[in-house]
Amino acid sequence: MNSAGHGTGAYRVRRINAGKDVAQIADLVELCFRPFLDPDGIAFIERMRSVAVDWQRFPFLSLFAQADFSITGYVCEAADGQIIGNVNLFPATVKNRAAFLIANVCVHPEYRKRGIAALMMREALCEAEKKRGAAIYLQVREETPEVLRMYQKLGFLVDEYRTGWLHPRKFVRETEAGDIRREKIRGVKRRDLAEAFEKWYPPDVVWNLNYDPGIFHCGAFLFLSRFFVQNDVETFRVTDLTGEAVCWIGFQPTNSFCNNLWVVPAQGCQDIRMESVLSTFGSRYGRFKPLLVSFPKGVYVDAFLKAGFFVHNRLVWMHKPL
């Protein structure tokens, strides 16, 4: 693609010019994703609009667009200059290798089914390959199978189907369930925990879940990490009344609209035990902010629902080796 972009006579694909395009991108993203926006998504759109206003008032700020507000990728522009498509491309590090993340792929409803999304995606893939990324990652809503098929035609592979479970900000139980016990994590159990964690949160997924790798570290490293970085992190090993491991729990406060709850079931954990765990820790940590748990699709569904969680999103995680 040359610097002017390319496409048909009706529209063209070009690189994003942050100072020029951010207001239209904000409008397009809101139009296309309005039913799915959570408070973080709404805040991101408002941030884009705020930056656009600043750039209009002070044009020289556009010279610092990338430093001030990093939004890169490609847009599709109609003949009249209207932005009708958007693909954002962000650098990432996955498994200690350079990679990229695709986000906010959208096309104006009046211009869909014309191959515009695939055209923008090919440009993004080409750029990622030129920059020698090891892989490119994205997530697609399970409710849009036609979009999933487009990504598969472009060579993307399905890593996992995952459900985001959200516990609303409310109190569920006054006391902990009587059929489970919690204890501090000790170093001797670290290997079992590490193996279980990777099963439920594989490397191709966990890197993009806002996970603090110090949460489940044990011993002196855990103490120092909490002391210097985040004192509010809490981790527990949960057992039944016989002392058999049920799961491990990690609570991670965030700057998001919700806090993260990491639930790592032990082998053989039964639904009734998981319901007790989710109810207990949902009550413990869900008083002031909602709690979000990312989990493989179809696992412990009844336990989540009975414990007061509801489905926040259903996502298909995908990647393409480059």
CA distance 97 to 135: 9
Determine which helix (DSSP H) or strand (DSSP E) holds 15, and give its type and residue range.
strand 11-15
- pTM for the full model? 0.88
Q: Is 209 left (phi over 0), alpha (psi -120 to 50) or beta?
A: alpha
As a whole number, the mean pLDDT across the chain is: 87
Q: Which CATH architecture has domain 6-133?
A: 3-Layer(aba) Sandwich (3.40)
CA distance 244 to 164: 28
- pLDDT value, residue 111: 95
- pLDDT value, residue 233: 84
Positions of E strands within 79-214: 83-94, 97-107, 135-141, 157-167, 180-183
Nearest to 6 by CA among 247, 197, 14, 49: 14
Residue 69 has pLDDT above 80, yes or no: no
Q: 74: which 2 tokens?
A: 């490609």
All CATH 3.40.630.30 domain ranges of the chain, comma separated, are: 6-133
Instruction: Look at 30-39, 62-71, 288-297, 310-319 and tell me which has the smallest mean pLDDT.
Output: 62-71
- pLDDT value, residue 55: 74
Distances (CA, A) of 244 to 190, 196, 197, 236: 15, 15, 17, 14
- pLDDT value, residue 296: 97
Do you know the residue count of the chain? 322
Across 240-259, average pLDDT: 93
Domain 164-314 - what CATH class? alpha beta
192 or 163, higher pLDDT? 163
The distance between the two most distant Cα atoms of the chain, rounded to a whole number of Å, is 72
Percentage with pLDDT > 70 across the chain = 85
**pLDDT digit string, tens, across residues 143-182:** 999 999 999 999 999 999 999 999 998 755 555 567 899 8
CA distance 322 to 320: 6
- pLDDT value, residue 188: 47
Q: At 116, which amino acid appears?
A: I
- Residue indicated by tokens 């949160």: 201
Q: Are 230 and 217 in contact (CB under 8 A)?
A: no
